[in-house]
Amino acid sequence: MHDKVHQAGVTERVALVTGANKGIGLEIARQLARAGVIVLLGARDRGRASAAVHALAQQGLTAQAVQLDLEDEASIAAAAASIAAEHGRLDILVNNAGIVDAEDGPPSAASIAAVRKIVNTNFVGTLAVTQAMLPLLRRSPAARIVNLSSSLGSLTLNGDPSSPYYSARLIGYNASKAALNMLTVQLAEELRDTPIVVTSVSPGYVKTDLTGHQGFLTAEDGARLPVQHALRGADAVSGRFVEASGDTPW
């Protein structure tokens, strides 16, 4: 076990970013590394994780590959054990990994298999990772958990005919993000007497594989808000659901 220390004597923060081999996850990892954070780049495929680490190294940034499959509890437990052995704690957890499925759709027509897979990955898998990492986060003096949500997970906006999200009826994906928001709310309450801050962040409509590159924002743009909350100091407020324009209604 070891801590890397700045010349000023301040211990560097350690961050795990799930689904970090591409898209917003990779950009979050890049921006955290630029901020001097020790970045653990989590991905299902070890080779893709290593390739992403190499890509960051070519930009002068250091990261470590961590094999992590949200649908494989053994891989989650192994990742937690390796982080404990190498670093002894975790200061930042960015729950970025998530999926969509072409067979998702409105409640009357969505494939049940697709909905089950989406919810199992986006919500149950994220819960499993969070549970496994909590003992390490509790060892941090001021840990941050950032859940990558979506305005599509807002019950308020889904029920508002004037909202641009009203017609986006993807029962599996939207429900998975609403459930993720419930995790943020309940976890923030459970941890209210600790220094751990939990936040749901909607990065916006970002051009990634997840959106079929149809978004308005670049991955660099979309990563800024999650990184801001991952690095937030003593003014951080737990249990918020935020997007670039401010707080989002649950």
Q: CA-CA distance, 238 to 183, in Å (whole number)?
A: 12
Sign of the C-alpha dihedral, residues 68, 133, 231, 85? negative
pLDDT at site 204: 72
Give residue 216's pLDDT.
Answer: 57
- Contact yes or no for 28/16 (Cβ under 8 A): no
Given the DSSP bridges, would you call strands 240-243 and 246-247 parallel, antiparallel or unpaired? antiparallel
- For residue 120, the model assigns a pLDDT of 97
Q: Which residues contact 92 (CB under 8 A, 6 or more apart)?
A: 13, 14, 15, 16, 32, 37, 143, 144, 145, 146, 230, 231
d(CA 92, CA 16): 6
Please tell me the predicted confidence (pLDDT) of residue 205: 64
Claim: this prediction has a pTM higher than 0.85: yes
Domain ranges of the chain: 14-99+130-150+195-247
DSSP one-letter code for 148: E
pLDDT at 8: 35
List, by residue number, the catalytic residues: 173, 177
Q: What is the pLDDT of residue 11?
A: 72
Q: What is the pLDDT of residue 5?
A: 40
Low-confidence ranges of the chain (pLDDT < 50): 1-10, 207-208, 210-213
Q: pLDDT, tens digit, for every residue of 140-167?
A: 999 999 999 999 999 999 999 999 888 8
Q: Tens digits of per-residue pLDDT, 160-203?
A: 999 988 888 999 999 999 999 999 999 999 999 999 999 999 99
Q: Say which CATH class 14-99+130-150+195-247 falls into.
A: alpha beta
| Model pLDDT, residue 220 | 83
Question: What's residue 171's pLDDT?
Answer: 97
Can you point out the beta strands (E) in the chain?
Answer: 14-17, 38-43, 63-67, 92-95, 144-148, 197-201, 240-243, 246-247
